[in-house]
Structure 1
Amino acid sequence: MKRKLAALLVTVLTLSLVLVGCGAKTDNATPPTKKIKIGLSMNTLNNPFFVAVKEGAEAEAKAAGIELIVTDAQNNPAQQIADVENLIQQKPDILIIDPADSDAIAEGVKKINTAKIPVFTIDRQTNGGEVLTHIGFDAIKSGTIAGEALAKALNGKGNVVEIQGIMGTNVARDRSKGFNLAMAKYPDIKIIAKQTANFDRGQALNVMENILQANPVIDGVYAANDEMAMGALAAMDASGRTAKIKLIGCDAIDPALAAIKAGKMAATIAEPPFFLGKEAIKTAMKISKGEAIEKSVILGSTLVTKDNVETVKTRD
């Protein structure tokens, strides 16, 4: 009887140790990794450039297993502030902003600062609030490249038109500054008209129609983005003057590349938005991991002409 009782006690003790061991294993199990949530406030998605920014961000976020929330301010600074407030309520780990207006967005950035959410800007800068970094292109360099390319296409002389973007953004101001710096080196080139079209194709069409009617001799046009270049081109086509005018844009969106291939545009400046979107998510990942980042990240710009339009890379 004693032997049976001893055997039973050994069995119970062994089973208890096994159960304790299992319990210890459960307690030490690695907790599931928290999924990173990123908010992306876009100034508009009614423009191929910014659609491509979103697509690049989505591609990188999907590859990294990140939850990405995208909003569209429809080029309305007030709507973008509302978008930012909504994103703050969703408690993202990081917020990325592509401003509709550099001055107006400062209010939104300050709200994000108050919420203690890491934030940075892409493409266009903010004129207020604290951001960890800014990712974009050198807009002065871009404008200068465009100006030099137009001067070369015109052999250093002729009548030129400048169609400007949203002058409340650093991008529009800096592209114009770079273009005019280049033009100043060519005394035989005259800027006969300079007007804003707010980076909008429809507005550029109307602007260019009026300029064409008022000026019988136009040799070159610089549009500060390709959407405006497409609007200007439509007006030039309608007037039958496309063959006489050298047109240069910026951004290297697909319609502009097609126009270069067709001989209707002289050049554009490749500032690939898809890669801008990817870089934004990569930077957000670094921030989430506590890694060091640069205060400013400047991506490369490339002149695209008929000579390299077939090989230029604008997305993965």
Structure 2
Amino acid sequence: MLKALCQSLCLSLPLAANVQAASVVFLNPGSSSEVFWSSYSRFMQAAAQDLGMSLKVEYSERSPERTLSQARDILQGPKRPDYLVLVNEQYIAPEIIRLSQGTGVKLFLVNNGLTASQARSIQAQPGKYAQVLGTLTVNDEQAGYQMLREMVALLPKDNGPVDLVAFVGVKTTPASLLREQGMRRALADFPQVRLRQVVYGGWSRERAYEQAGMLVQRYPDTRLVWSANDEMAFGAMRAFEEAGRVPGREVVFSAVNSSPEALRARIDGRLGVLMGGHFSLGGWAMVMLHDDAHGVSLARDGVREHQVPVLQSVDGAKAQRWLKLLEHSDYGIDFKRYSAEGKPSDFRYPFFASPVDY
């Protein structure tokens, strides 16, 4: 009997050894020195480690040409990953989807999905493009809308006109355009707010600083400075401070992103409004890819494109709490509990329904 037991155990060992961790490559469109994109990758790595997955991150350093070159090397190389996660930054996704046709690599889009015109073009040529496993985006338009509403609420109650200037990212990034659309939608609720100028700061602190230096001279009565990310907000803030304007008292600044610098600025009041939490999107994508690798259909409800309301307003108390969580390599999160593996067929990912309060 002992001999039979040993044989049974020995036979089972090769099977366990043959179980391969799902491999993922993330084409990070940002720079490795950018706080947002590095924290985004860090959250994905925390999820990968928790879920027993392999993750490699390739940074493009803000170069779409480099992203395409990286994608080509990955998709045509000898050791292809199971999954390739990409962002439709500067509208590069269709070319990567074309390159992936016939490679066996599953594609998953995060943050910026396909535009309507891109989707129509791909659907019209099914033999030319691979099928995308799924898309996970955030509530960018709603965040842009809510951000301006909260800014106006901080102003003294008077009937005088209020000058607003806005810093958006780039014209070829859906997230940037959606945040701007939300801001413009909110303007309809406040006829006293005058949008003086929208500038494209390219997500850059230095560029926004240079632009704001001109705007503060052109519109000296500006009381609202709306920014689509934190880097541009801090660049603009510096220019206004040099012009003698006090953030949080004379001018209300807003930002998107939950970097430590932004969280501290929200706590001390230099940022009147902060929207954050979307750094987590890649981590939730990893949960979904883990489930797909374990046979759980991501389109079991007939939907492949999902929007997750992870962008949320961050007040001072929440900013304090998030700063403490950043001290933990895994953010203090058990990613396994978000998985659909082993759950009932009607299980719905918690991050689909409401913001996750980390």
Residue 176 of structure 1 corresponds to 180
Report the 3-state secondary structure (helix = DSSP H, G, I; strand = E; otherwise coil) of the residue aligned with 1:280. helix
Please tell me whether residue 86 in structure 1 is matched to residue 73 in structure 2. Answer: yes
Partner of 1:112: 100
Does 215-224 or 231-240 show the bigger shift?
A: 231-240
TM-score (norm 1): 0.86
Partners of 2:151 and 2:298 in 1: CA distance: 36
Check if 1:41 corresponds to 2:27: yes
After superposition, give the CA deviation of every residue in 1:25-82 in whole Å (9 maximum; x if it has no partner).
Answer: 7556542111221111100133211111100011111223322111011111111111
Secondary structure in structure 2 of the residue aligned to 1:133: strand
Contact 2:138 2:278 (8 Å CA) reproduced: no
SS in 1 for 2:308: strand
Q: Using the TM superposition, give the Cα deviation of residue 312 of structure 1 relative to its aligned residue in structure 2, in angstroms.
A: 5.2
Q: Which amino acid aligns with 1:278?
A: G
1:230-282 per-residue CA deviation (whole Å, 9 max, x = no partner) reads: 11112122222134110011122221111122221101112241x22321211
Distance 1:41 1:82 in 2: 11
The residue number in structure 2 matching 1:259 is: 265
- Matching residue within 268, 275, 284 for 1:279: 284
Of 197, 200, 221, the match for 1:217:
221
> Structure 1: which 5+ runs fail to align?
1-17
Structure 1 consecutive aligned stretches of length 4 or more whose deviation exceeds 6 Å: 18-25
Match for residue 315 of structure 2?
Answer: 305
Q: What letter matches 1:134 in structure 2? A: T
How far apart, in 1, do the equivalents of 2:227 and 2:142 lie? 15
- Letter aligned with residue 213 of structure 1: Q
Counterparts of 1:307 and 1:26 in 2: how far apart (Å)?
A: 55
Q: Which residue pairs with 1:153 in the alignment?
A: 154
In the aligned structure 2, how far is the partner of 1:19 from the partner of 1:252? 59
Higher Rg of the two aligned structures: 1
Distance 1:21 1:236, change over 3 A: closer
Identical counterparts, % of pairs: 17
Would you say how many aligned residue pairs link Structure 1 and Structure 2? Answer: 298
Stretch of structure 1 that moved more, 151-160 or 256-265: 151-160
Tell me if structure 1 keeps the 8 A contact 2:60–2:67. yes
**By how many angstroms is 1:205 displaced?**
1.0
1:123 aligned onto 2:129: no
The residue type paired with residue 81 of structure 2 is P
2:138 corresponds to: 137
Mapped partners of 1:261, 1:23: distance in 2? 63
**What secondary structure, in the 3-state scheme, does the structure 2 residue paired with 1:247 have?**
strand
User: Residues 252 and 27 from structure 1, CA distance in 2 versus in 1: closer, same or farther, beyond 3 angstroms?
Assistant: closer
Letter of the aligned partner of 1:266 in structure 2? G
Check the 8 A contact 1:55/1:277 in 2, yes or no: no
Deviations 1:187-225 (A, max 9, x none): 111001111111111111111111112121111010011
Matched AA of 2:220 = P
| Contiguous gaps of at least 5 residues in structure 2 | 123-130, 332-358
Task: State the TM-score, normalizing by the size of structure 2.
Answer: 0.77
CA contact (8 A) 1:81 1:105 kept: no
- Alpha-carbon deviation of 1:113? 3.2
